[in-house]
Every structure is written in C-alpha cells, then in structure tokens.
Chain A
C-alpha cells in the first residue's frame, strides 16, 4: 500500500482546504517539517481519523477525548455559531487499485464549548483500468475494505508518534502489554488462547468429578491438585488485579509527570513573575509616597498663583513696618513714657498743655488698634515665608511630577510584562505543582507496593506450579500402582495432555515470533548504534514475560544502564522489527509514518536511522521539528538513494497553519531560515 495524497479541510490547525501529495516512488521519503505547535501531529491525527475514525492518539492518554477538537477553531469562531464541517480525504494505492477515503466531522461552537460529531464517510474505488465504482457510504463495508488493506490490529506498527516510541523503552507493565499485544496480534492466536482457556476449564471439571469418585491417598492427591489449581487461579486473578492497579498507577504517575513537566517548563516564567511582582510592589509603594508628597504640595502650588498679590501685600506691610506703623505696641509705650515723664527722647521738655504735648497726643490717637497691628506683623512674617518657600515648592513639585511619570512608565511596563506572563501561565501553577508532587509521591509509593505484590505473587505462582508438577507426578504414580484406569481418569489424562500440547503450541509460536523479533531488532540495532554502542550492546531480547531487554557485550541484561538515545534506538529497532514481521518481508509494503522520532538521538544515530529506514520500508513519511532537522540531518537525507518530497508547515497571522510544498532544492534554505 502506498499513500498518495491527503486533503485537509478545516481540520485542526489547517484552515480551509490544504493538500499533501506524498512521494509515491519506492523507496521514498516525505518530510513534513514544522516548528512545535504547527500541526505535524495534526497530520498524523488526520490519517488515523480518516482511516479508522479515531480522534485520539497514544499521546492523548491523559486527555479527555471530549477535549480533543478536530474542527479548526478559527473557522468555528468565524462561523458565528453555525456548524463547520472538517474533512480529511486520503488517497491510497493498494494492489494497483486506488482508494479515496473521505471522512467528515461536524463541529459547533456554543459559548466557550465546542461540540463535534462524525457525520459522513465515503469510499471511492478506482480499478487498474481507471474505472471508478459508485461511492460507498456504508460504514461497515468501508471499514472492512480499509481493514483488508491495512489491518487495524497491525496499524500500530506503522503509525508511530513520539509518545509510543518513548513508551516502548519503559520497563513497566504497559510496555509488556504493548509488546505482548503486538506479538499476539501478529500471530493471530486469539483462537488458540480461547482453546487453552476452554481446555483448562474442562480439566478442572474432570478433576473435580474425579475427586468425588476417589478414595484414600489418591483422593488426597487429587484434592491437593484441585486446591493447588484453585490457588493458582486465584493467584492469577490477584496478579491480574494488581497488574491492572499497577498499570493504572503508572498511567497516573505519567500524568503527574506530564503536568509537572509542563509546570517545570514555565518555572522560569513563574520566577520572573515573582521578581516582577516584587518590583511592582516596590514601585507602587514609591509611587504611593510620591502621591502623598504631591498631595502635600497642593496648597503651596496653589498659593504660588497668588505670588504677585502676596509680593505686593508683603511689600506694603514691610513699608508700614519700616515707617513704624507696625508694630505699634512699642510705639505706644514710648509715647506713654514721653507724656508721663514730660520729656522727649531728645531731651526736650514736653509740658502738659504745650503745643508739643498736643501734637504727641494727636499722634497717639492716630495709631491703629494694637491687636490688628500684631496680626499684620504675623501676616508680614507668613507672607515672607511663603515668598521664600514658593520657588522651592515649585522645584520639588516639578521634580516629583517627573519622577512620578517616570515611575508610572515603569509600573505600566511591568503591568504589561505581568499580563503577558499571566496569559502564559496559570496563577495557581505553584499550588498545583505542590499538589501534583504530593499525589505523585503517593502514587509512587503505591507503585512500589504493587510491584512488590506482583513479585510475591509471581514467586507464589512458581511455588504452586512446582507443587502441582509434584502432585501430578504422585497422582500418575498412584494411578499406576493402583491400576486406576476408568473412563473418568482416561478423560482427565487426555484433557491434561491436550492442555499441555496446546500450551506447547502457544509457547512455540510465541517463542518463534519472539526470536524473529529479537533477531530483526538486534540486527537493526547493530546498524543503527554508534561505534561505542555497537561494542557495548550485543542484542535485544524479547523476554518470556514480553518485556524488552538489552544485553551487553557479556550477554548480561543491561537495559537499566543505557542512555535515553540508546533507549529510543531500541524502541525504533523493535518497531521496525514488528513491521517487518507483520508483512513477512525484509522491505515492508506499508508506509511507515513517524512523528518526531529523532528527539533524543545523537547526530550519528540520526545519520544511521536516516540511512537505514529506506532500506526496510518503501514509503517513509516523517514529521520533524526544527530541532530534529537541521542542515546536517538534511545532508544525511540527501545522501540516501531515494526520492524525497519536502513540505513545510508555516504559521499564518491568525494562528492557523499553511502547508507548503517546497522544492527539494530550496528545502535547505527553508531549514536554514530557522
């Protein structure tokens, strides 16, 4: 199967209709290049949605499916409350026939809520001669046709997002399940598993009947076998329960880790906000003191408007003072003394009834009220102070106003910065981080406890298994000694043999697949690792419990010690091995769709991977970020002997994304532009 074309219309970040024509030469590489948030995963999601009608990906495990919106939000906002239809049309070629699958979903925005519902699926088939059949609308028929082209059970080995690649490297229950499910899907051994379970149930029934009909030591042995079987069943039920709890706890732990990662990403912003808030508080305090200062200067500044009047009045009061009109009390005292002593200060005698005496008396009577005169003197003093203080007041007001304005600019800038930061982060991030950490610690403790329980149960199971083997041997010995050969015993013996045979078949099938996977993955690993890795890591092993293990050069388990990049290589090797086993060919005929696979790889590992994948797959569609594809990686792609198509996801002003086909010769310029 070859992917030919994909049309997106109002899907996720892609507003309006946009088209991607995949490179269809074999082998080929189609590179979809874009920075984070531009919609690389949106394209991956579009393919999964179109082929299988699924809204969520592996990376969405911690997201409520209701929160995943496929219809372009900008188109919904522009629609003014009317429904908007998003569409993905995928054209693929399989066995010389062309299939166009069109899947639509309708969205509606009411307030801040978005509602979506799938409402149309169409498949158009064109045969080798170019004859197009009438469109098929029946969902079941379409799903059947798609299933025949691309088995949903094996789709997971060709469509990989970064999250799934990451998950395979974890030594946890989820990883074991993924690997086990992968192997079982590849073998298609569900019927065999059903047969084993049925036979086990039959054997238990027969043993229960035998117990009823038996006596003496034989009965005791049968009884012990039945009890052991029951204990083993109980043990397995417990193991499944604890494994499920462990699985859920690990999922929860990843959820908290994800949330904490998000918070960690914004930690520096939180620190910046703290500093800005402190700075803002300081500035506001300074501003507040400045306002108090300015307020205290209102009277002085207003008084300055009266300066011409104040100066004039002051001057005239001053003249009065100079001429002796004010103050008057000392003058009155002096006059009273002259009149009383009948002698002037110049020594002249001033007799009562004389002309001089009359003149002095007249002068005394002309003098204003003494209280009024004192007040005038006070006013003279106050006005003098106002005149002296006013220039200083005006200067200090001027300076305070300039400082206030400058400070206010700083406050506004800080406000703007804080607003920007507030738009980026949640106010309660720190509180949340505390809560997540507490919950994480609790879940971590639970995980430890569950793992311990699983270990104990596994040991218990092994003991029970050994006990059962011993009891079965005793039973057979007693059967021989006592010559018990009736029909019930014969049935039970037959059921036991059949059960063992079925288990052997199951084990040999899975062993075979495990070996194939181990060999292919190990071979890929040898080609992908750098020189140091090739020396230190010998092979990848799929263990009996379906966990992945890496053995070092001494053939000892070494997974716990390998680097993050090496883990990613191990995952990619296992993925390619699964794909190879699924198709049964060295070069598989289904496109390998990878979303951001280079994240943790070193340059040498990237070069090796870029050279390796086109050798095992005929169509490689790869979505990469600007940090994954630089000039160096681009040169690795150019060295590979296969056709290449380059698409760039560019941001538009409204936040949507434009898909641009860049000629390969110009791709480097686009990459360098970042």
Chain B
C-alpha cells in the first residue's frame, strides 16, 4: 500500500478505445482505467488477462481515492490479508486484468451508441461536445450505483 509509481498497462486491442474515450470525455487515462475497474468489480465480471500488454500511463497519476479503492478490492478478495496489498506491482497487475474486463462493459453497454467499427477496429466517435459523453457515462454509473444499493 505504498502507491508505488510504475507503468500501467492495457491490452493492445484497447489502445484506440482508451484514446477515443479520453478524447470524447476529456478524462485522463487513470480515470478511465479506474472506471473500468469499478464497473468490472461491480458487475462481477471475470478478470481478463491482457493478451498483449501496452504501457498506457504512470501509476503516480492515480489519486489516493483510486488507490484506496483498489487496495480495498484486493483486501476483500484476499480475506483482509494485509500482505496481499504489500506489493503494488501485484496489485496493479490484478487491476489491469479487471480493467480489461471493464472496458468491454463500457464499449458494449454504457457507450455503445458511440461505437463505430472501422476496418474491424473498434473506435468511439462523437460529434457532441465532451458533456454528452460524460453525461452518458455518469448516468450509467449512477444507474449501476442504484442497482448495487437495491441489491
């Protein structure tokens, strides 16, 4: 739980989606990554191992809130064994697999109306300003939040 700086990786197939998401929401990569993690955990999606790892951002850009949530996820998964969060490299490695599952939720559900396929490669496209994409994302996250509360 030292919030160690390191490179955070995503799957090569999702590089374009991350770039487009950043473009249409104006949100930094660490936020997109964190949203992916939260969605995947919340919807109990199985972590997906990265087939080809591509560096995307520095872990130092993540906020203490994001780190705390990530540690909480690991602790919960490891019966509160504090040693499970001792090694940040391991923590991030696990999060990369979780976020990799989360990005599919964004593209297949939350922002599916923004998805275009050009030459078989998924991309997000929007004529609107950032506001509309952020709004859609937030409405979806809030709907999920209400679902979790009701559960």
- Hey, which bits of chain A sit against chain B, CB under 8 A? 287, 290-291, 294-295, 297-310, 312-314, 316-317, 320, 368, 372-373, 375-376, 378-379, 382-383, 386, 394, 397-398, 401, 404-405, 408
Contact = CB atoms under 8 A, between A and B. Distances in A.
- Main secondary structure on B side of the interface with A: helix
A301 B145 contact: yes
A672 B83 CA distance: 91
Contact of B138 (A287, A297, A386): A297
Interface string B116-139: 000000000000011100110111
Contact of A298 (B27, B37, B131, B149): B27
A301 B142 contact: yes
Contacts, number: 128
Contacts of A298: 25, 27, 31, 35, 134, 137-138, 141
A309 B145 contact: no
B9 interface: no
B73 A306 contact: yes
B141 to A, nearest CB: 5
Contact of A305 (B31, B38, B80, B139): B38
A408 B138 CA distance: 16
A340 B25 CA distance: 61
A295 B138 CA distance: 9
Given A298-B141, A308-B151, 14 more contacts: A294-B138, A295-B130, A298-B138, A301-B142, A303-B66, A304-B142, A305-B41, A306-B72, A309-B76, A316-B75, A317-B80, A375-B2, A382-B64, A383-B72
B135 A294 contact: yes
Contact of B129 (A291, A302, A313, A401): A291
B139 A376 contact: no
A372 B86 contact: yes
B6 interface: no
Interface residues of B, number: 45
Interface of B: 1-2, 25-27, 31, 34-35, 37-39, 41-42, 63-69, 71-73, 75-76, 80, 82-83, 85-86, 129-131, 134-135, 137-139, 141-142, 144-145, 148-149, 151
Contacts of A383: 68, 72
B141 A304 contact: yes
A294 B148 contact: no
A281 to B, nearest CB: 15
A161 to B, nearest CB: 50
Contacts of A300: 65
B138 A299 contact: no
A299 B134 contact: no
Contact of A294 (B71, B72, B134): B134
Given A379-B72, A397-B138, A305 B26 contact: no
Given A294-B131, A295-B27, A316-B80, A305 B72 contact: no
A291 B26 CA distance: 9
Contacts of B2: 375
B65 A306 contact: no
A396 to B, nearest CB: 11
Given A295-B26, A302-B39, A305-B144, A401 B139 contact: yes
B83 A372 contact: yes
Contacts of B27: 295, 298
A382 B68 contact: yes
Given A305-B141, A376-B82, A383-B68, A312 B76 contact: yes
Centre residue among A297, A302, A309, A372 by max chain B CB count within 10 A: A302
A376 B2 CA distance: 10
5 contacts: A298-B137, A316-B75, A368-B83, A372-B83, A382-B68
A306 B142 contact: no
Contacts of A302: 31, 34-35, 37-39, 141
Contacts of B73: 306, 309
Nearest to B36: A302
Contacts of B151: 308
Contacts of B141: 298, 301-302, 304-305
A569 B65 CA distance: 86
